[in-house]
């Protein structure tokens, strides 16, 4: 049977609030404050409050939020920063752009989140910070992070690009460390109509330095106290995000409900080697992505399943097919195949299924039915050989 189930469908989201979005854009056009305008300051304040922090500083991308955010936290040349090997390359690029040395560590195979025991073994006298990546929409345990940071006297700088309003152990994403980077790439849980990012912090010095760094290092117009750069979240994008923000909790709840439907429907396939990534955050997981593992016990590999789903009209993704340490661009870091076996293994097994607010129950059932059919056909072929 052929379906048409996209990996992400932004039209559903935008159609429901089209009037609000149009009005938000029109207001900026009428105001004419396209750079560092009122909608930006309003959104910065609103997103900070929603995330349980004091200050928000909008920048041009999530990558800049990491790079400039680390600099704002006085992390740079001579400092080592711990981060997981199985993150998007933006995390690593941000560390390098800040002038710091990235130190990669392995992950927990059940959640794909950073392995803090592995991180502890990688600490040196130069280690200054750890970047926990709240991957797929699930936070790294805040209490374990805080204990870890206290034990080893490190700063926590969160990569929360996939975890807008995620919660765990009484904390919201962005409120655990000295700073946190968010992305507003269009497909994120809270997405703009282009690129965008933000640093959240409750440290006023970090916030003020970040504001200078994003605007040519200026403390006031034409007075530059730092080198800085040009990385400002456009007022138009901020207006779009501000219009969307009141709906984010409902959208996240819808994602959680969809994930729970997937969990229930896929439970029958666990013995066949189809295993969802663990949710250790209960209702605090915001499921930017719904990811399964195709275990080595499965009769089909990941490529075969993805190919058959594509043929059935079901779009999927892989987040991410190559870990950072095996990317050609970062060969100079000196890592080798086998250095991070859990991350390498996951990269060959994980598959992201369609996930977005508005995904219907019958579509979820269709995705699971297509996987089940692929496994059944493969088993039948084996019996016939």
Confidence of residue 27 (pLDDT cuts 50, 70, 90): very high
Q: What backbone phi and psi angles, to 5 degrees, belong to 347?
A: -60, -25
- Structure confidence at residue 357 (pLDDT): 98
**What rounded mean pLDDT belongs to the chain?**
97
- Structure confidence at residue 349 (pLDDT): 98
C-alpha 133/C-alpha 317 separation (Å) is: 19
Sign of the torsion angle spanned by Cα atoms 237, 243, 245, 249: negative
56: β partners:
200
Confidence of residue 377 (pLDDT cuts 50, 70, 90): confident
Predicted model pTM = 0.97
Find the mean pLDDT for residues 106-111. Answer: 98
pLDDT tens sequence across 303-358: 999 999 999 999 999 999 999 999 999 999 999 999 999 999 999 999 999 999 99
Structure tokens belonging to residue 89: 């390359």
Q: Kindly calculate the radius of gyration of the chain based on its CA atoms and give it in whole angstroms.
A: 21
C-alpha 315/C-alpha 2 separation (Å) is: 12
Q: What percent of the chain has pLDDT over 90?
A: 97
Q: Which residue has the tokens 């280690």?
A: 127
pLDDT above 70: residue 138: yes
Confidence of residue 382 (pLDDT cuts 50, 70, 90): low
Residue 291 CB neighbour total at 10 angstroms = 25
C-alpha 144/C-alpha 28 separation (Å) is: 43
- Structure confidence at residue 2 (pLDDT): 85
Of 370, 376, 377, 383, give the one whose Cα is nearest residue 1: 370
Can you give the length of the chain in residues?
385
C-alpha 266/C-alpha 262 separation (Å) is: 6
């Amino acid at each position: 049977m052929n379906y048409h189930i996209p990996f992400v469908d932004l039209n559903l989201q935008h159609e429901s609030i089209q009037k609000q979005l149009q009005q938000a854009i029109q207001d900026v056009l009428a105001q004419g404050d396209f750079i560092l305008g009122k909608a930006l300051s309003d959104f910065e304040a609103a997103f900070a409050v929603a995330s349980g922090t004091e200050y928000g500083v909008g920048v041009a991308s999530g990558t800049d939020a990491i790079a400039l955010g680390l600099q704002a936290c006085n992390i740079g040349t001579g400092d080592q920063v711990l981060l997981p090997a199985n993150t998007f390359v933006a995390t690593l690029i941000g560390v390098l752009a800040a002038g710091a040395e990235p130190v990669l560590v392995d992950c927990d195979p059940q959640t794909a989140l950073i392995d803090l025991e592995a991180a502890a073994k990688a600490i040196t006298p130069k280690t200054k910070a750890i970047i926990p990546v709240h991957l797929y929409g699930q936070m790294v345990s805040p209490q374990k992070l805080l204990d870890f940071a206290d034990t080893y006297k490190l700063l926590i700088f969160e990569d929360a690009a996939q975890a807008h309003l995620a919660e765990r152990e009484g904390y919201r994403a962005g409120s655990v460390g000295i700073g946190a980077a968010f992305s507003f790439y269009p497909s994120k849980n809270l997405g703009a109509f282009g690129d965008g990012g933000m640093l959240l912090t409750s440290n006023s010095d970090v916030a003020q330095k970040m504001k200078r760094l994003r605007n040519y290092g200026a403390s006031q117009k034409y007075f530059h106290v730092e080198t800085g750069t040009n990385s400002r979240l456009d007022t138009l994008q901020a207006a779009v995000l501000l219009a969307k923000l009141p709906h984010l909790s409902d959208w996240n709840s819808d994602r959680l409900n969809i994930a729970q439907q997937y969990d229930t429907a896929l439970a029958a396939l666990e013995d066949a080697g189809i295993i969802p990534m663990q949710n250790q955050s209960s209702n605090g997981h915001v499921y930017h992505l719904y990811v399964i593992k195709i275990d080595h016990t499965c009769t089909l590999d990941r490529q075969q399943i993805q190919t058959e789903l594509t043929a059935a009209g079901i779009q999927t993704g892989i987040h991410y097919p190559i870990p950072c340490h095996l990317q050609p661009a970062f060969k100079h870091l000196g890592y080798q195949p086998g250095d991070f076996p859990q991350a390498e293994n996951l990269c060959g097994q994980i598959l992201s299924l369609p996930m977005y607010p508005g995904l219907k129950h019958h579509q979820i059932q269709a995705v699971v039915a297509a996987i089940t059919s692929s496994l059944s056909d493969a088993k039948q072929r084996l019996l016939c050989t």
